Structure 1
Amino acid sequence: MVIWMRSLTRSSRKNKPANWKRQIFEMTETWTVKKLLNWSETHLKEKGIDAPRSDIEVMLAEILQTGRMGVYLNYDKILTPAELSRYKEFILRRRENEPVQYIIGKAFFYGRTFAVHKGCFIPRFSSEALIDVFLKKKKEEGIGTSIIEIGGGSGCIGLTLALERDDIMVDIIERSPEASALIRKNMKAHGLAERATLIEGDFFTLSPQKSYDAVICNPPYIVPGDPHLEAQVRDFEPAEALYGGSDGLDFYRRLKDKLSVWAKGSWIFLEIGYNQAKAVQEIFQPAEVEIEKDLSGVQRVAYFYRP
C-alpha cells in the first residue's frame, strides 16, 4: 500500500443545504461527453477533489462501456437519460471522496481488471513493483512455482503472478469474509480455479499444509496519523489493511516469528513503506534483506532468502 500520495482537501460534510444532492447538472439539458467531462472537472475541483480528470475519465468510461481513450473518441456523443442518471450518482459519491474504484466496482492492476468493493483494500500501482521484483528474481534464482500470498485483499498480487507465469500455483490466505468473496470472484473471472486456492483464516494462527518456494505479502504498514495519507484512503478503506501499529512495523515483527514454520528454504517478498527499508532490514536480521525501488523511485520491496 502506498502512503506518500498527494494530499486531498476533504469536502465538508457539515452544514449542507437540504437540496445539496440537486445542486448538480440539470438532467433536462443535453449533455455531450465533452461537456460533461469539462463540467465534472470544474465541479469536483470546487468540492476539494485534487486533479480529478483521470477519475472522471474512468467513471465516464464505465458508463459508456469503453476504455479511457474511448471517452475522447466519443466526445460528441449525447448521453442518454439512463447514462446521465447513473453518472450523477457516480459524481455524488466521488465528490464525497469515495474512491473511484469503489464507485465503479473495479480496480486496474498490472494491465488487468480486478473486482473490488467497500471493505477491500484497493490495489495500488506501487504494488506492481512486487510483481516485477518477484518475476526478475524467479528468473535469476530459479525460484520454484509454489507461492503463498498472505492477506490477499482482492487477490490481485497472487493471481497476477499466476497469470504472468502459467507454471505458478498460488495459495492466498485471507481472513476477511468480504475480501475472501472478492478473491473467489476474481479467481473465477481470470480462469484460475485450477491454479489458485483460497485459504480462509488468520495466517498467524494457521499451520502450513505444504511447503512453499516463495512467500509474498503487501502488509499493513501505515503509521496512524500519517499526514501523507489521503482522506479517501483514511475514510473509506479498511483500517486493518492500512495500519501497522504505532511505528507501522508490527506485521513484520510478527511475520519474522512465523517464518520458521512457513518458510523453510523459501524466498520472502514484502512491500514496505517509503521510509521503512532500514527498519525492515534490521527486523529480519541475520537475513540479508535487499531493497528494490518502485517506478517512482521509492524504496518499495524488501526481499530475502530464508534457508
Structure 2
Amino acid sequence: MTDPRNPGPDPHPHPPAIPLPAGSCDAHCHVFGPTVRFPYAEGRSYTPPESPKEDLRALHRVLGFERAVLVQPACHGADHSALLDALETSGGRYRGVALVRPDTSPEEVRRLHAAGVRGARLNFTPHLGPAPAREEIDRIVALIRPHGWHVALHVAGDGITEHADLVRSLDIRVVIDHLARVDLRRGLDSTAVRALLGLLATGSVWVKLSGADRLATRPPDLADSAALARILATEAPERVVWGTDFPHPNTNGFVPSDGDLADLIAEIAPDEAARERLLVTNPAACFDFPDRALRDR
C-alpha cells in the first residue's frame, strides 16, 4: 500500500522557461524500485510509489538535464541494487550517494566507488531513523576518505545549528542537503540561517539548493525558499549545486511541479555564467564527473 505522505510526482511537468545549459546536472534525485526487482527494505519508515530510472530519465529529458546525482533513499536501506543499476546503465552520466554503515566493508566501498558513488549520506532527521553517533560517523569517514568522497548531511529545523561543530570538525568535504531544511517561518536572519552561512564560509562546505518546496512557508508559493537559495548562491557561488529532489518523497501532501522548481533556477542564478556554474561546473567538481558533456540517447 502506498504511503499517503508520498503521493508521487506531477506526471506532466513543463520545460523550464529558460533552457538549461548543456551538461546540466540534477544534483539530488532518487530512484524507487521497481520493487519486483528491487524490493523496499523491511522495517522502512515510508513506502513511496515506484519511480524507476526510466521515470527519472523521462523527467530529465523534459527539463534538460544531462547528468544527475542519485541519492540512496532510506526506503531501500543498505541495499543499493536499484541505485547501482541506474548508475551502471547511465553511460557515466550519473553519480551516486550511498548509505554507508560503520560495519560496511572496505571492499563494498570500493565496489560502490567503481560504480560511480561519490558520497555517503548521514541522516539527522528522526523520520528516517536514529542519528549516527560520533564514533559511527568517524568510522564512516575513515571508510570513504581514501576515495575522495563527500559526506552528505541531512538535517532539518535547528539541526544545522546543533551540528555545526560536527561539520567543522570533519576533515572531509561536507555537502548539506536541501538548504539545511531550515525553518523559514523564523525568517532569513534566523540562527539556523546564520549557522548555514557560517559553515558555507569555511570553504569546505557545499550546499544543495534543493527541496525548495520543503522549506516554503506558503506553498505553492516558493518565493521565500528561493530567496534563501539566492543568498547562498551569492555568498559562495562556487560551492552550491541544484537538484529537483524527484520524485519528492515524504512531502506530506504538497508536491511541486518539477517544471516550476526548474523555473526557480533563473531567480537563484539570474545570468548565464551563474547558471553554468550552478548546474555544470560546480557539480562536475563536487561529484567527480568527467569533463565531457554526455547527452542522453
Q: With structure 1 as the length reference, what TM-score do the two structures score?
A: 0.31
- Structure number with higher relative contact order (C-alpha < 8 Å, ≥ 6 residues apart): 2
Q: Please say which structure displays the higher CA radius of gyration.
A: 1
Q: With structure 2 as the length reference, what TM-score do the two structures score?
A: 0.31
